[in-house]
Amino acid sequence: AQRVTQPEKLLSVFKGAPVELKCNYSYSGSPELFWYVQYSRQRLQLLLRHISRESIKGFTADLNKGETSFHLKKPFAQEEDSAMYYCAPPYFKLIFGTGTRLQVFP
Amino acid sequence: DVKVTQSSRYLVKRTGEKVFLECVQDMDHENMFWYRQDPGLGLRLIYFSYDVKMKEKGDIPEGYSVSREKKERFSLILESASTNQTSMYLCASSVVSYEQYFGPGTRLTVT
């Protein structure tokens, strides 16, 4: 099955510290990956997609085909970034990563 | 804005009851999905549908069935609810190979 792996269940940082949420994928072909975010008491929503190469809320994600990774990065974490983050491929049988909870302490 | 709505935010049912979870989307999306979300396990796909009356099993279909009689509506059915089906259930819809839009979730407790 096409799968992504998020090795960290919990990532805790202090405000202003850099953040990197890891995502590795295990399928061949040209991947097109997404990052989704779920803030407390809100619905799961798209954060950013690989193909658009955009920066949303200061987050970026670069596809590294050699390492088969799509890590989510932000140079300076904010408290409002605290949330669950999921990495996912967009294919028909989507298999989300298990998610990483990011906690940003003041 | 795409709207995906789910019939209940919270639901409490007894073991053995038949449970229906309804999901409606208003953007004419072909694909619809049902997931359950559990701490430490992330999102697990139960079933998905790529067209009316079409369905495919996801990772954890056991104990569940689905129905899609109309394009905008996708129902998840627990034939005989059990305590291990206590979970948050998320519905989503998408156009093929694009982002998914999620509903607010239904927190189901089976006692």
Rounded CA separation A90/B7 (Å): 26
**Phi first, then psi: what are they for B85, rounded to 5°?**
-100, 5
Nearest to A50 by CA among A82, A85, A89: A89
pLDDT value of position A49: 81
pLDDT (tens, 9 = 90+) of chain A, 106 residues, equals 567 889 999 999 999 999 999 999 886 666 678 899 999 999 999 998 876 677 889 999 888 888 888 899 999 999 999 999 999 876 656 678 889 999 999 9
**B99 contacts A94? CB cut-off 8 A:** no
Residue A52, helix vs strand vs coil: helix
Rounded CA separation A25/A87 (Å): 9
Chain B hits for A95, Cβ within 8 Å: 45, 59
The verdict on B42 touching A (C-beta cutoff 8 Å) is: yes
